[in-house]
Amino acid sequence: MRWTMILSGTLLASLGSLTLAAENSKPNVLFLICDDLNCDLSAYGHAQVKSPNIDRLAKRGVLFQNAYCQYPLCGPSRASFMTGLYPDQTLIRRNAIYIREHVPNVLTMSQMFRGGGYFATRIGKIYHYNVPRHMGTGGHDDPFSWNRTINPYGRDKEEEDKIFSLRPGSFGGTLSWLAADGTDEEQTDGIAATHAVNLLKQYGKSGRQFYLAVGLYRPHTPYVAPKKYFDMYPLESINVPTVPDGYYETLPKPARASVRRKKEQIDLPDKLARQAIQAYYASITFADAQLGRILDALDESGLSKNTVVLFTSDHGYHMGEHGHWQKTTLFENAARVPLIIAGPGVTAQGTKTSSPAEMVDFYPTLGELCGLKPPKYVSGVSLAPTLKDPKAMPRTEAFTQYATGYSIRTPRYRYTFWGEDGAAGAELYDHDSDPGEMKNLAGVVAHEEIAKQLSTRLKTRIAEARKAPPGVKQVDFKNTRRVPQPF
């Protein structure tokens, strides 16, 4: 009788495992995002920055060389890609806003997965947080988006008094850094990685279907990382960008203001500039090491073959280019983001694509890869065709906005105008001859025709990005269009 019960129990357990496997035939999702990370990565051709774990992810996925945020500021960008809507649709164009203040009934990307039977977990920063003020809290998170949330809090938060800052006592909105004592695992992002590792081990054993979003805080200011990462970038090896005399006079007034508004960061002394770049690079390599721990756990748990991995940042970042530091411009440095997608449905493994991509495309792309249907109002397009054929182009250009400016990036050109229909000035850059976007060709007779074509296309994109999403309630309130604060 006892053996009969044991055999019956074993059979039931086996049947249960088969049922669970059948239910979990759709891929899992591991969504990895760094904060304020530009494309200064070896996978993107940077000669100095060490990012071995991001590099190895690229070898088994597709790397998008021309992916762009929709707003170069944390809060608006994160609200945009998590809803699949443009900032003029979410009405979120500054920080410190909960998404449901403006779009109360929106269905977020992770809600789609929850509705599809996935267990959605957030570790760290996915929606907006003031950094470092909100570390260890829920920040401006959306609780409807998750089954579970984890808010890591580490030594970097506890030792703020040791951090150097250009504005003493202020860290998130200005250049600040610390070569920290202690280990990776004592830092907030190290703790986040440990949580992710433990969850992946659990999921590997339980078979639970998951959407796991891990948001690292680095390399957002303050640039805090253990000292060993700073040692990888000797100050004498750092290259500080320069700006030629008369450059700022070539820019429209709003563009000039966007790169000159941080007074304490204008014309940094060479030593401080080198230290800031060193600290930023150190923070990138530290973040890469935590990503490596998570990717190792994915492999060791046996989940990598059935898990879509999407790695990105919330926007780009300047490190002295155009004489600017940090974000909030409509130049390539602030608009461009790293994007790598790997896992089931990605057959063009180890390839790079020049196909334009936008962050609003994450929602429909992950939906298609996992057999889920996003709401019809989502503005993004699926990048799945490019994951099979890197020459496929679901988009012909990428769209970004900031303050009163709007910009499109085609494979060759960037065209930007400021004010309604460009009343406050325009910019045109030819990336074939000027990848640094230092020569404004707007108003040059030889480029009038291409400027006209791009202006027409940009106006069309603006009209599309302003369309009210059907079925989504929009609540506007005063001051949503004010110039956002950069932290």
Catalytic residue annotation: 74, 128
Instruction: Tell me if 319 sits within 8 A of 40, measured CB to CB.
Output: yes
How far is residue 442 from each of residues 252, 369, 402, 429, measured CA to CA in Å? 10, 41, 19, 8
Range 419-446 burial, b when 16+ CB lie within 10 A, else e: beebeebbbbbebeeeeebeebbbeeee
Of the CA atoms within 13 Å of residue 125, those in its CB half-sphere come to 29
Alpha-carbon distance of 427 to 229, in angstroms, equals: 38
Instruction: Specify the DSSP class assigned to residue 43.
Output: G
Q: Which residues pair with 71 in a beta bridge?
A: none
How is 435-480 classified by DSSP, letter by letter?
A: TT--S--TT-GGGHHHHHHHHHHHHHHHHHHTSPPTT------TTT
Backbone torsions φ then ψ of 459, nearest 5 degrees: -65, -40
Alpha carbon of residue 401 to chain centroid:
15
The order of strands in the sheet holding 413-418 is 398-402, 405-409, 413-418, 426-430
Instruction: Tell me if 344 sits within 8 A of 29, measured CB to CB.
Output: no
- Give the strand pairing for 357-358 and 67-68: parallel
Alpha-carbon distance of 189 to 150, in angstroms, equals: 12
